[in-house]
Amino acid sequence: MTLLVEKELYHLVNNLSETYFNKPFQHDVRYNHRLRTTGGRYIPAKRLIELNPKYATEMDENEFIGIIKHELCHYHLHIEGKGYKHRDKDFRKLLKETGSPRHCSPLPSEKKDYRYRYTCKKCNRAYNRRRRVDVKKYRCGKCHGELVFKEKREA
């Protein structure tokens, strides 16, 4: 999916709002290029939905539409004065009714690979880490066995 211009993005959000919520979307929506770990967010004070543009370009259309539906759940519940936060019963109920996802999938570009591999002497559990670990200081989280350095991969 390509990045939509502001008018197209607003029309997409409004169409999804009318389709799934039977209510119009009457406020602002825009891309926020600074979002990294989330697909979007709703800002209640501004009644603004911000979307991560990487999800529009890197992921499939269904993932992006799911993010918009999730943010619309926050939006409509806030407008109605109901519980719009993740922990609220109203929010979880509306997510189910509209088929919106609770969380978005991680971006392929943000997936980090490991460089160092350690194993436990006792239970042979493997630990992959991006940074080096002091094997004298840390132990296995499962059996408290001693960790042994196995390999270093080149990045």
Report, as residue numbers or ranges, the catalytic residues: 71
> Amino acid letter at 16?
L
Backbone phi and psi for residue 125, each to the nearest 5 degrees, phi listed first: -70, 135
Q: Do residues 63 and 8 lie in contact, with contact meaning Cβ atoms separated by under 8 Å? A: no
Helix, strand, coil share (%) of the chain residues, nearest 5: 35, 20, 45
**CA 60 to the chain's CA centroid:** 14
